[in-house]
């Protein structure tokens, strides 16, 4: 397949982050990563490789605040294998090089997902199970072969569960039983989950294998159903002796969603009881449909909500927290029509504001990490 030299070290990307000034902002000198590390917790963020290279303020904020990075796009299928058999590790290499230069850890996202699929992929999967298995194996082989030296934790499967009836996502998410209806499911049935995990373990025996999903945090009937579906899936995989190490809770939170600590804590403890680690992988927070007046009140509402959820998760034994970006400026919450506001306002759902100043959510995370 001509994959020789795919290693990230050979991608020719120059270190750009070495001489970064450290943006101290208006809080204590330490970034969130340091505050967390003092308590044995790892804090990280999703990053965009292009901004790391081009925007010193952005790069400095990442360098200051995060210990762990995950590429927002660069490790998805359409980035890694835009044409069948042609792997492009350039964009991921930019992120990996920044991580190396700044001594940050890196996690991978995502080996199997129903979005960010290159044009050729769904038609290939539709050709049948044998072809689908081949395509999956080739991708996992090539990608993990290249990333093994630098990525020790991957979201192997992302968003495989359906949203239960009644959830606010139901209209956009066709389901087959508890599973999301995707080209992978249509080609291989739910076994694709088991297969992806086994292929990953085979290729990289000490890699942490994570199942990642959203909508698992709230106190609603449908979130509870989704939690039960996740517990059942994990139980079934473990019973089948399928390798699995962790569950990622995306935690794309919404201030308007009811929350109570007990359901989330019980869920996390249930997963930990089965021997798995639990991570918060994509934390951000959409604001209320009815915004309180003034930025201070808005930020306080986000901070209070985030602190409840993160505090609960940490108390239940979660030891890794990543936000889906650090600043409001670069977030999908303002870019993506599915999640952005329709009233002309922009969500303030990240620890830093659009000018990279620390907000109440930053303080809430710092307090949660410090155990307060
Ligand atoms: C999002 C990106 O942030 C967007 O820019 C992109 O348009 C769509 O994907 N769950 C995930 C992430 O697992 O990969 C998604 O990232 C956000 C939801």
Q: Is position 7 within any domain?
A: no
pLDDT band at 372 (very low <50, low <70, confident <90, very high): low
The stretch 147-166 carries a mean pLDDT of: 95
Which of 74, 109, 115, 284 maximizes ligand 1 atoms within 8 Å of its Cβ, making it the mutation to test the pocket? 115
8 has a pLDDT exceeding 70? no
Per DSSP, 205 falls in state: T
Supply the pTM of this predicted model.
0.94
Residue 2 pLDDT? 30
348 has a pLDDT exceeding 60? yes
Q: Is position 74 within any domain?
A: yes
pLDDT band at 17 (very low <50, low <70, confident <90, very high): very low
Q: What percentage of the chain carries pLDDT values higher than 70?
A: 91
Q: What is the count of structural domains for the chain?
A: 1
Q: Is position 6 within any domain?
A: no
In the chain, DSSP assigns E strands to 42-47, 68-71, 105-112, 151-158, 175-176, 179-180, 208-213, 246-249, 252-254, 277-286, 320-323
Residue 371 pLDDT? 87
Helices (H), 163-294: 183-188, 191-203, 221-239, 261-273
The stretch 258-263 carries a mean pLDDT of: 98
Range name among 171-180, 197-206, 208-217 with the lowest pLDDT average = 171-180
- Closest atom of ligand 1 to 113 CA is 13
Ligand 1 centroid distance, CA of 58 (Å): 19
Residue 143 pLDDT? 98
Ligand 1 centroid distance, CA of 241 (Å): 30
Per DSSP, 45 falls in state: E
Return the closest-CA partner of residue 168 out of 115, 116, 226: 226
Size of the chain in residues: 372
Q: Is position 13 within any domain?
A: no
Instruction: Enter the tokens of residue 244.
Output: 């699995």
Residue 14 pLDDT? 35
Q: Is position 105 within any domain?
A: yes
pLDDT per residue as tens digits for the range 217-229: 999 999 999 999 9
Ligand 1 centroid distance, CA of 6 (Å): 25
- List the domain range (segments joined by +) for residue 195: 21-370
Residue 167 pLDDT? 81
Q: Which residue has the tokens 């996202």?
A: 109
pLDDT per residue as tens digits for the range 67-83: 999 999 999 999 999 99
Residues with CB under 6 A from ligand 1: 72, 158, 250, 282, 332, 336
Q: Is position 10 within any domain?
A: no
141 has a pLDDT exceeding 70? yes
pLDDT band at 172 (very low <50, low <70, confident <90, very high): low
Q: What Cα–Cα distance (Å) separates residue 253 from each residue in 10, 46, 132, 134, 216?
A: 38, 16, 34, 37, 10
Q: Is position 16 within any domain?
A: no
Instruction: Give Cα 216 distance to the centre of its chain.
Output: 14
Helix (H, G, I), strand (E, B) or coil at 188: helix
pLDDT per residue as tens digits for the range 102-140: 999 999 999 999 999 999 999 999 999 999 999 999 999
The stretch 245-269 carries a mean pLDDT of: 98
- Closest atom of ligand 1 to 331 CA is 3
The stretch 38-60 carries a mean pLDDT of: 97
Report the CATH number that the domain containing residue 28 is assigned in CATH: 3.20.20.80
Calpha distance 347→291 (Å, rounded): 10
Residues 6+ apart with CB under 8 A from 188: 129, 132, 133, 136, 195
Helix (H, G, I), strand (E, B) or coil at 25: coil
Q: Is position 15 within any domain?
A: no
Q: What percentage of the chain carries pLDDT values higher than 90?
A: 88
């Amino acid at each position: 397949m001509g994959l020789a030299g795919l290693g990230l070290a050979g991608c020719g990307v120059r270190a750009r982050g070495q001489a970064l000034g450290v943006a101290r902002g208006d809080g204590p000198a330490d970034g969130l990563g340091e505050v967390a590390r003092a308590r044995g917790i790892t804090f990280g963020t999703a990053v965009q490789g292009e901004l790391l290279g081009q925007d010193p303020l952005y790069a400095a904020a990442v360098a200051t605040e995060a210990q762990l990075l995950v590429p927002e796009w660069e490790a998805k299928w359409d980035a890694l294998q835009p044409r069948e058999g042609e792997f492009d590790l350039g964009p991921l290499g930019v992120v990996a090089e920044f991580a190396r230069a700044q001594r940050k850890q890196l996690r991978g996202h995502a080996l199997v997902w129903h979005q960010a699929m290159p044009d050729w992929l769904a038609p290939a999967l539709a050709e049948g199970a044998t072809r689908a298995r081949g395509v999956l194996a080739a991708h996992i082989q090539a990608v993990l072969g290249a990333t093994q030296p630098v990525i020790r934790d991957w979201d192997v499967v992302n968003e495989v569960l359906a949203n239960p009836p009644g959830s606010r996502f139901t209209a956009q998410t066709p389901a087959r039983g508890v599973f999301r209806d995707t080209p992978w499911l249509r080609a291989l049935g739910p076994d694709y989950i088991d297969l992806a995990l086994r292929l990953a373990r085979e290729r990289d025996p000490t890699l942490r294998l994570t199942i990642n999903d959203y909508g698992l945090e709230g106190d609603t009937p449908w979130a509870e159903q989704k939690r039960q579906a996740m517990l059942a899936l994990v139980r079934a995989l473990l019973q089948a002796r399928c390798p699995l190490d962790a569950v990622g809770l995306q935690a794309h939170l919404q201030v308007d969603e009811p929350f109570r600590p007990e359901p989330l804590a019980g869920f996390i403890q249930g997963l930990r009881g089965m021997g798995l680690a639990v991570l918060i992988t994509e934390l951000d927070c959409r604001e209320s449909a009815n915004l309180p007046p003034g930025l201070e009140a808005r930020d306080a509402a986000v901070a209070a909500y985030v602190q409840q959820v993160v505090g609960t998760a940490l108390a239940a034994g979660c030891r890794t927290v990543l936000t889906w970006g650090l600043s409001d400026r670069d977030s999908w919450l303002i870019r993506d029509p599915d999640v952005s506001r329709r009233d002309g306002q922009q969500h303030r759902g990240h620890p830093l504001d659009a000018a990279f100043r620390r907000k109440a959510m930053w303080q809430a995370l710092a307090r949660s990490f410090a155990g307060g």
